[in-house]
Amino acid sequence: MLEDEVLKWKFKRGSDEALTRIYEKYLGPMLTLAMGLLNNAAEAEDVVQDVFVSFAQSRRTLRARSSLSGYLATSVVNRVRDHKRRLRRRATQAPDRVERVSVPTRPDRRVILDEQAMLLNDAVAELPDEQREVVLLRLKADMKFRDIAKLQETSVNTALSRYRYGLEKLRSALNGEVRVWNR
């Protein structure tokens, strides 16, 4: 996107306004990605905060050749992987459920949407790590399969298969439980 290229250019040349705009633009999507991968809101916030701090410190050395979204999503995935490795080393307990944020709407629909979000979060959390990564990177970070494959150090066909299998497992797990409501 042209706006992202301008933001990268300005950021590399010291613009704090560009950094602020990048943060505002990508905070939500990166939090969503991290929460989907970690299934814990507090840990996701920590990971995303670390990513943005590192990003801000990389002003002079930044080599983001791809889109900002792809660069930040790759950074989030790598931080999540590091975080999970640290947790495994400490042998901590299973992750908590992701905190749900309700969409402001009529009270009767809010309850339904909250239940649907819980079902979806639980279904995503049950996916194997590789499939969960591919599904969230594709749907939440809008990354291309070739970039996902590169990140996962696998072939594009494997990334596509993981995506397909992940979606099939989600459909099977949800089995009509989550419906889209007209507003």
The answer on 83 and 13 residing in a single domain is yes
Which amino acid, 33? L
In the predicted model, what is the mean pLDDT of residues 154-175? Answer: 91
Q: What is the DSSP letter of 66?
A: S
Query: At residue 51, what are phi and psi to the nearest 5 degrees?
Result: -65, -45
The answer on 118 and 93 residing in a single domain is no
Angle CA(96)–CA(102)–CA(87) in degrees, nearest 5?
20
The answer on 62 and 5 residing in a single domain is yes
The answer on 134 and 75 residing in a single domain is no
The answer on 120 and 33 residing in a single domain is no
Task: Give the predicted TM-score (pTM) of the model.
Answer: 0.67
The answer on 129 and 88 residing in a single domain is no
The answer on 112 and 94 residing in a single domain is no
Q: How many structural domains are present in the chain?
A: 2
Mark which of 54, 82, 99 sits at the end of a domain. Answer: 99
More confident residue, 81 or 141: 81
Alpha helices in the chain (DSSP H): 2-12, 16-38, 41-57, 68-90, 107-126, 129-139, 145-152, 156-174
What pLDDT shows up at residue 148? 92
The answer on 122 and 89 residing in a single domain is no
Closest CA to 18 of 7, 27, 28: 7
Average pLDDT, the chain: 82
Name the pLDDT band for 108 (thresholds 50, 70, 90).
Answer: low
Find the CATH number of the domain harbouring 89: 1.10.1740.10
**What does the block give as tokens for 118?**
């819980």
Closest CA to 51 of 35, 67, 31, 65: 31
Instruction: Write the DSSP string, 83-98.
Output: HHHHHHHHTPPPPPPP
Mark which of 48, 80, 99 sits at the end of a domain. Answer: 99
Q: How do residues 37-96 score in pLDDT, each as one tens digit? A: 888 888 999 999 999 999 999 888 887 677 888 889 999 999 999 998 888 787 544 444
The answer on 134 and 162 residing in a single domain is yes
Find the CATH number of the domain harbouring 181: 1.10.10.10
> Which of 7-16, 82-91, 166-175 has the least mean pLDDT?
82-91
CB 34 within 8 A of CB 76: yes
Range of the domain at 158: 101-183
